[in-house]
Amino acid sequence: MSLLFEAIKVKDGQTFNLDYHSSRMNITRKELFNAGPALDLESKIILPAFTNKGIFTCRIEYDSHIRKIDFYPYEYSRIRTLKLVEVDDINYSYKFINRKVINNLMEQKNGCDDILMVRNGMIADTSCANIIVRGDDNIWYTPSSYIMRGTKREYLLNHGLISEKIITPASLKRFRELRLINSMLDIDDTDSIPVRTICF
C-alpha cells in the first residue's frame, strides 16, 4: 500500500488548520491500519528557522506511523482553464502519495490547466483541490459530491463561510465564478475562473 501524506500550510512561522490535518491523519490511520493512539501533529512538527518568512508546505508522509516530515517553499501554479472529465469509478477518499489514477485522468484535460471531475453525474473536485462556486446571490457553495474531504473545505464549512450544494454540469452553468480551495489556498488566494470558460 502506498504511503499517505498531509500537506500543511506554513506562513511566516505559523502552521494552519493543524487540528484538521491531525484529525484526518488519525482517522485514516485508524481506518486503514487500525492504528492508535492518535498522534498530535503539533508536537511532531518542529519548524525550521527558514520558515519564519514566506510560505512553505510542510509535507508529512505516514502509514501507521509518521515516516517523514519535509518543508518546501510553496509554488502556486495558476489554474485558469478547466475541462470536465467523467470519473464514475474513481475512489480517492484517502490522501495517498500514489496518485496514478488522477494523473491518468489528467491526460484528458485537452490543453486546459486542470480537470474538473464529474462523478455519477455530479460535479466534484479538480485534480488537486476542492472547488467553490458563486452566483448572483454572492454565496459560495461547494459540491456535496466531493472526492477528497479537504481540510480547508471542512474549515470553511464549519465556520459558515461556504455551504454544500448538489451541483451537476447543467446547474454549474447557472453560477458566475469558480475558485479552487485546498490546504494551501484560501478563498481569495486563487484566480476567479468564469464558469462560462469551463470546457464542458
Q: What is the pTM of this model?
A: 0.93
Peptide bond preceding 73 in cis form (omega within 30 of 0): no
Question: What top-level class would CATH report for the domain 4-73?
Answer: alpha beta
Domain ranges of the chain: 4-73, 82-197
H/E stretch holding 11:
strand 4-11
Cα separation, 48 vs 89, whole angstroms: 41
pLDDT in tens, the chain (200 residues): 799 999 999 999 999 999 999 999 999 999 999 998 999 999 999 999 999 999 999 999 999 999 999 999 999 889 999 999 999 888 888 999 999 999 999 999 999 999 999 999 999 999 999 999 999 999 999 999 999 999 999 999 999 999 999 999 999 999 999 999 999 999 999 889 999 999 99
Q: Residue 27: which of 149, 160, 163 has the closest Cα?
A: 149
pLDDT at 91: 82
pLDDT at 93: 87
Domain 82-197 has CATH 3.20.10.10: yes
Grid coordinates representing 107 are: 491526460
Catalogue the E-assigned strands of 25-172. 55-62, 66-73, 82-86, 114-119, 122-126, 130-134, 140-143, 163-165
pLDDT at 176: 96
pLDDT at 90: 85
- The residue behind cell 459540491 is 143
pLDDT at 47: 98
Q: Are 49 and 78 in contact (CB under 8 A)?
A: no
pLDDT at 123: 97
